[in-house]
Structure 1
Amino acid sequence: MFLIDSHCHIDKLDYHRLHRDVTDVMEKAKTRDVRLILAVCTTLLNFENITAFIGCRDDILFSCGIHPLNIDEQLYDLLELRSIAARENVVALGETGLDYSNPQENKALQQEIFREHIRIGNEYNKPLIVHTRNARDDTIAILREGKADKCSGVLHCFTDDRDTAKVLLDIGFYISFSGIVTFRNAHVLHETARFVPLDRLLIETDSPYLAPVPYRGKENQPAYVRDIAEYIARLKDIKLEKLATATTANFCRLFHFNKPLCRL
Structure 2
Amino acid sequence: MTATLSADELQLVTGLLYRLTGMTFGENKRYYIERRITERMKQTGIASARAYLAHAALDPAERQALVNAFTINETYFFREDHQFRALGDQILPEIVRTKRPGDLVRIWSLPCSTGDEPYSIAIWLLENWPMVDAYNIEIIGSDIDTSAVEAARAGRYAARALSRLPASLVERYFEAEHRQYRRIIEDLRESVQFSVVNLVDPASVATQGRFDVILCRNLLIYFDDASRKIAADNLFDRLHPGGFLCLGHSESMARISDRFDFVRLDDAIVYRRP
**TM-score with structure 2 length normalisation?**
0.30
**TM-score with structure 1 length normalisation?**
0.31
Q: Which has the higher helix share?
A: 2
Task: Work out which of the two has the higher radius of gyration on C-alpha atoms and give 1 or 2.
Answer: 2
